[in-house]
Amino acid sequence: MTEKVTTLYEAIGGDPAVRALTHRFYKLMDTLPEASNVRAVHPPSLEGSEEKFYEYMTGYLGGPPLYTDKRGHPRLRSRHFVAEIGPIERDEWLLCFRRALDETIASQALRDLIWAPVERLAYHMQNKE
């Protein structure tokens, strides 16, 4: 007998939920005064960054591998070496992600499942003290 496995992507609501999460994340980054340092390491327009993050999160959460299909292996850390990411930028990024997650994903249990590995990833992305 084969069991149906539900991915986080499916559990949170699929494409519309990932779009809402990533859009809210970048809206917060663009508007919160307390995210000014992380905003400063991004290009003037966040449109391209938002699209890449949407593609990445879609696959990361178990949906279609949009990012890898278009861009290959994420190599996240090496792709982010162009931006200096210290504790301030990391924490501001996490602030935006936490708020976006809380505002767009209804289930606390699902938010918790998403948060823990994303928080670890943010710490891994730090490339300066």
Q: Are 104 and 115 in contact (CB under 8 A)?
A: no
Q: Are 25 and 97 in contact (CB under 8 A)?
A: yes
Residues of the chain with pLDDT > 90, as a percent, come to: 81
What does the pLDDT look like over 41-80, one tens digit per residue? 999 999 999 999 999 999 999 999 999 999 888 776 666 6
Which position has the token pair 């499942």?
113
Cβ-based neighbour number of residue 104 at 10 Å: 20
Output the average pLDDT for the chain. Answer: 93
Geometric angle at alpha carbon 83, from 80 and 86, rounded to 5°: 100
Q: Which H or E element spans position 15? A: helix 15-31
Name the band, by pLDDT with cuts 50, 70 and 90, for residue 2.
confident
